[in-house]
């Protein structure tokens, strides 16, 4: 009798969080559109417009996450995780567009005049939408940070910007209700636009830095600490350390210098031990490629590479 039980599929908390974000964002959007329809407030319209953009951004984020989880294949030898930077960048760009949309409607409202109705009902609806997004954004952000997933982190932050925009609209409507100063509607709209555009800028910056393979200071410190304090005794020196991160994987390359007379087996064993120590020092998965070099014959061995590249010398890549 075969006692081998079927293995249950592993749960994916990030996937679950993003799916919940998509569904709940649609509900929040519906509430905000309803608030704009019954009040006619420009600030409420701006909040609704931002949520429309947010909903489509979440759709893109969900697709980006599914793509990033695909394993390496014949066409993508390094996997698909770098789509994270594209996904986060697209969300940042969409947030900037939302900010510009808010500014446009605020200017138009200031020119054509402001007419706000049913403020009490509108305030209640927007408070409900803000509470929904507060719970949702906090949840997605917590999951993203726990699993070190920038797609979920950026989505959680974007959702929390909805809380601030809804809060700004509610504050504006309350002030207008008690003061009668309709211009507050426009002023708050500009403030909301400035805030969410700053958040969009930060996401775009992360995307660009990632696509440019900018050095991660925390990863660099962890790797250098191992190389300076935990080298195997047979390693005489190291150089040309470089690394880049994409998704939950860090790719590392470096050169190790061994005594000329060491056996290939011993050098490989010690390099592999060092590789394990470096992986253990990181909070991500890692793929480490180590180039073994002789100590005395180092320059002579590398001389064969002189002029091999078409335009750049080898040191320019290091």
**pLDDT (0 to 100) of residue 53:** 73
- Domain 13-211: assigned CATH number: 1.20.1510.10
| Average of per-residue pLDDT across 210-219 | 89
Q: Which CATH class is domain 217-317?
A: alpha beta
Instruction: Return the number of other C-beta atoms located less than 10 Å from residue 86's C-beta.
Output: 16
Which region among 191-205, 280-294, 303-317 has the lowest average model confidence (pLDDT)? 303-317
**pLDDT (0 to 100) of residue 43:** 67
**pLDDT (0 to 100) of residue 1:** 44
Identify the band that residue 130 occupies on the pLDDT scale cut at 50, 70 and 90: confident
Which region among 12-21, 194-203, 205-214 has the lowest average model confidence (pLDDT)? 194-203
**pLDDT (0 to 100) of residue 126:** 83
Indicate if the pLDDT at residue 3 is higher than 70: no
Q: Which two tokens stand for residue 196?
A: 């969410």
> Which residue would you say has higher pLDDT here, 202 or 41?
202
Maximum average pLDDT range among 93-107, 108-122, 206-220, 290-304: 206-220
Average pLDDT, the chain: 83
Indicate if the pLDDT at residue 89 is higher than 70: yes
Indicate if the pLDDT at residue 154 is higher than 90: no
Domains of the chain, by residue range, sit at 13-211, 217-317
Identify the band that residue 113 occupies on the pLDDT scale cut at 50, 70 and 90: low
| Average of per-residue pLDDT across 234-247 | 90
> Which residue would you say has higher pLDDT here, 233 or 44?
233
Identify the band that residue 275 occupies on the pLDDT scale cut at 50, 70 and 90: very high
% of residues, the chain, pLDDT over 70: 92
**pLDDT (0 to 100) of residue 8:** 46
**pLDDT (0 to 100) of residue 318:** 64
């Amino acid at each position: 009798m075969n006692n081998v039980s079927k293995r249950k599929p592993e749960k994916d908390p990030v996937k679950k969080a993003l799916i919940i974000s998509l569904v709940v964002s649609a509900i929040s959007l519906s509430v905000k559109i309803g608030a704009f329809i019954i009040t006619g407030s420009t600030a409420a319209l701006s909040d609704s417009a931002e949520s429309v953009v947010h909903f489509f951004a979440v759709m893109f984020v969900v697709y980006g996450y599914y793509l990033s989880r695909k394993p390496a294949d014949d066409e993508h030898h390094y996997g698909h995780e770098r789509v994270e930077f594209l996904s986060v960048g697209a969300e940042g760009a969409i947030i900037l567009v939302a900010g510009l949309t808010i500014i446009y409607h605020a200017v138009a409202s200031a020119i054509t005049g402001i007419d706000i109705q049913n403020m009490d009902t509108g305030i209640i609806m927007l408070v409900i939408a803000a509470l929904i997004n507060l719970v949702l954004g906090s949840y997605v952000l917590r999951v993203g940070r726990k699993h070190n997933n920038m797609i979920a982190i950026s989505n959680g932050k974007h959702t929390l910007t909805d809380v601030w925009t809804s809060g700004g609209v509610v504050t504006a409507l309350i002030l207008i209700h008690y003061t009668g100063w309709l211009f507050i509607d426009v002023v708050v709209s500009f403030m909301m636009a400035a805030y969410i555009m700053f958040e969009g800028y930060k996401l775009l910056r992360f995307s660009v830095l990632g696509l440019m393979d900018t050095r991660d200071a925390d990863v660099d410190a962890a790797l250098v600490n191992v190389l300076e304090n935990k080298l195997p005794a047979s390693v005489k020196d190291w150089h040309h350390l470089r690394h880049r991160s994409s998704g939950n994987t860090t790719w590392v390359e470096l050169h190790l210098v061994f005594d000329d007379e060491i056996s290939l087996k011993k050098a490989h064993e010690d390099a592999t031990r060092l590789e394990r120590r470096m992986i253990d020092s990181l909070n991500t998965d890692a793929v480490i490629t180590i180039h073994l070099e002789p100590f005395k014959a180092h320059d002579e061995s590398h001389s064969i590479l002189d002029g091999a590249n078409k335009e750049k010398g080898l040191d320019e890549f290091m």
